[in-house]
Amino acid sequence: MNDVLSDIRVLDFGRYVAGPYCATLLGYMGADVIRVERLGGAEDRAIAPVTKDGEGAVFLQTACNKRSVCLDLRSGEGKDIARRLVRSADVVVANFPAQTLKKLGLDLDSLQALKPDIILANVTAFGEEGPWVNRGGFDGVGQAMSGAMYITGTPGGPAKAAAPYVDYCSAVLAALGVMAALRERDQSGQGQQVSGTLLGTALSVFNSHLVEQGVLGIDRVGTGNRVQTSAPSDVFATGDGHVLVHCPGDAVFRRWARLLDLEEWIDDPRFATDQDRGDHRDEICAPMVDWCAGRSTEEALETLAAAGIPAGPVLSPREALDHPQVAALDLLRSVDYPGAPAPAPVAGLPFKRTLGGPDVRNRPPLVGEHTDEVMTELGFSQDQIAALRSAGAVG
């Protein structure tokens, strides 16, 4: 087993997704992650509740391998415990605006006064400069402001992706930044701050479209599922469902044209390039509509695969969980959590390392489940812990 971060302690002050999932990824690579939350549990435990006590699906995805410590950071005792935790840590993860970090004593200056080589990973909506610096935001705001919703939808009907890709990509990028900062610390002995933004992530993911707009001023409008830069690339109805077909590149287009007995289109100058085909997408997609409509999803996919044309079924969440290729990836871990009516299929690391160890080792923690354990590690006696609990400083 090679838990590459087994000597690293992470304090997770984050909420919702971008901060917590960053810490989760570090925990999947072996870090000791301590989730610091308010007495009674943080508000992000309750999104999409799936247990009898109200813990939610987002929490179950973003809290495996963590230990939970509950502190009242408004009290002097709670702040003192937090400072002792910082001195024991290597990384602090948060996703709060700068003024909130300062108020909580989690800004870089305050942290480095306690631990000079500490690394702070902070993800905010809009960063630390600019007219929106003090505004909050969530995943959908990033999707909306990057241009993605405008193009994903149709004219007059912008559409947000249900998958919160801005949040999760921000978490992944923050974790990458932490790994780079740890490497830098190994070389220089210095800590630093890794800062990410939801808007910056959204702009980065959507950047090719912005490049095209900036260079050509093309002013595209949304076309829903129908791709504008190749064809036939769209979602097509079959006799019993839908399939997504994507045909970029001359070789794939030629294979598709032969499959549909449209060889004359291969040398048609109107369809010479991907963009030419994208510009004639409605004409090119029309025969594909008819072809798919006359076949079952399974028949369409088997025929397309045999012809070397990329395609996949449009699956419901239930169908996704049951698909044999999903099972073959061995990504979803069966996690039992108290009060859940069934094990939760929690995604582990979506990549494999030949020298890597297990990713999901422990279920998400109950509220304050490890307060006593962690405080004992910090040097508090059982009598001191009991007194602090009676005073309402810990839970």
| Residues acting as catalytic residues | 167
Residues 6+ apart with CB under 8 A from 291: 236, 260, 300
CA distance 255 to 176: 39
Instruction: Give CB contacts under 8 A, 24+ apart, made by 375-382.
Output: 375/69, 375/81, 377/88, 378/81, 378/84, 378/85, 378/88, 379/84
CA distance 307 to 176: 38
| Cβ-based burial of 266 (10 A; exposed 0-12, middle 13-18, buried ≥19) | middle
In which element (H, E) is residue 293 found?
A: helix 281-293
CA distance 11 to 174: 14
- Give yes or no for a contact between 255 and 308, defined as CB atoms under 8 angstroms apart: yes
User: What's the sign of the alpha-carbon dihedral 199, 202, 204, 206?
Assistant: negative
CA distance 250 to 256: 10
Residue 246 DSSP one-character state: -
CA distance 343 to 233: 37
CA of residue 343 relative to chain centroid, distance: 21
